[in-house]
Amino acid sequence: MGSLFTKIFLSFWLVVLLLGAAMFAAEHYLGANVLDQTAERVDAHAETAAALLAEDGMPAVRRWLAMMARSERMPLLLLDAEGRPLADQPLPPRLREYLDKGFKPGAHRLRPGLFAVVRPVPDSRPPLYVAALIRPHSGHHLTAGTRFALALTVSGLVCLGLAALITRPIRRLRRAAQALAAGDLTVRVGYRGRDEVAALARDFDVMAARLRDLLESQRQLLRDVSHELRSPLARLRVALELARRKGDTATALDRIEREAERLEALIADVLSLTRLEAGATHLQRKPVALADLLQAIVQDAAFEAEAAGKAVHLEAGAAATVQGDPVLLRSAIENVVRNAIRHTAPQTTVEITLRTEGNEAIVEVLDQGPGVPEQELDRLFQPFARVGEARDRASGGYGLGLAISRRAAEAHGGCITAANAPEGGLRVTLRLPI
């Protein structure tokens, strides 16, 4: 039984089948008892007939049979050895057919639901027999009260098992929900199965894990932002103090302006990352030609690269158009390109390629830097992740660019990965659905 619907359907069907089987078994058992009881009664009637014959003869037996016909519910007959009635009693058709073929004492089935019980009259000469027709199930059906009690018992037991089967995982799910509401983010339902409740339990576990990751990410983001804000704020205070002491306001104002710009860039990146993680960014989807977008990014990045004695080269081997937000896509790719420019060695070139595979557009950015330790590759796209603290701080980065790129790629249904190139440097690969 896979689904909850199937369990409920089959369980109620089982109730009906068990109820019918219980009724049949009860009727059959009681019917067998009725047949045995009838045989005992016919034996008693045969002894009574023998006593009447011995004392008062056949007239007394006839009067007794007439009285029994009025008081007994079953037909009672007195037969000779040939099967003929001796008291001018009519023979039922089924009994006549049976007697014509020959008979012997015992209980005999004439047809389904109809039996003939034949018993010899003791000490009768010539031999006489008392016969009775009995329908075990006709006059001995279960009473309404018995049927109701039987139906109530069978259906109650099956429905009790069904209720326990269905509510046990729901109770577990309820306790897990209460624990989660109380702040326990480690709670999991852990219910195994293939029905709807098991699917709901798995979804709950995924939700709880996601909530835990999001809250932990928010806490980490808050700690990292607080840490990153201290440095520019400290430099602002130093610049203000120097301006007061030396009176060199021009230098102090330049320093304050640079630190204010860094603060603004940091806050803008934090806000962008927060919106992307919360799914609050509304994508203005429109056709975007990636080759043209890359060409514009390379033209802007080339000025920054030339100032540091570096170069940027684009090889657009295929024309690919994606449905996406041009601003967000530009930010995602530009962050990767600028990160490569900062870390590539002087007098080297950052290689950017565009190609397609199936229904995906692939943008690769390869620098000529020292690469990243393998154990640190997974951390590259986490907020404020740093590989080589001193170098990253000297470059002016806060570790948010690649995190924003990953969130932007995921928002467009794509992904971004990083790997060390065999020839050296870091290769960042951005995949977007065409």
d(CA 18, CA 239): 89
| H or E segment to which residue 5 belongs | helix 4-56
Q: How many CB atoms lie within 10 A of CB 227?
A: 10
Residue 390 has what pLDDT?
36
Residue 18 has what pLDDT?
73
Token pair listed for 159: 């429905």
HSE of 243, CA atoms in CB hemisphere, 13 A: 14
HSE of 50, CA atoms in CB hemisphere, 13 A: 18
Q: How many CB atoms lie within 10 A of CB 43?
A: 16
Contact criterion met (CB below 8 Å) for 261 and 232: no
First to last CA, the chain: 42
403-409-414 Cα angle (round to 5): 135
- Range 4-142: architecture per CATH: 2-Layer Sandwich (3.30)
Residue 60 has what pLDDT?
81
Would the CA dihedral through 152, 153, 157, 158 be positive or negative? negative
Q: What is the mean pLDDT of each run of 10 residues along the chain (434 residues)?
A: 61 70 60 63 78 79 75 70 72 70 72 74 81 61 61 71 75 86 85 79 87 76 67 75 72 76 70 62 78 88 84 85 84 86 90 90 90 81 60 51 81 88 89 89
d(CA 423, CA 339): 19
HSE of 67, CA atoms in CB hemisphere, 13 A: 9
Residue 391 has what pLDDT?
38
Residue 353 has what pLDDT?
92
Token pair listed for 16: 């009906």
d(CA 104, CA 116): 10
Residue 118 has what pLDDT?
80
Residue 258 has what pLDDT?
74
Residue 312 has what pLDDT?
92
Residue 138 has what pLDDT?
46
> What is the model's pTM?
0.47
Residue 113 has what pLDDT?
63
Q: How many CB atoms lie within 10 A of CB 345?
A: 14
Task: For helices 290-307 and 326-343, give the axis angle rounded to 10 degrees.
Answer: 30
Residue 424 has what pLDDT?
84
Looking at domain 283-433, what is its CATH homologous superfamily? Histidine kinase-like ATPase, C-terminal domain (3.30.565.10)
SS3 63: helix
Token pair listed for 294: 């890359």
The ranges assigned to domains in the chain are 4-142, 283-433
Contact criterion met (CB below 8 Å) for 23 and 149: no
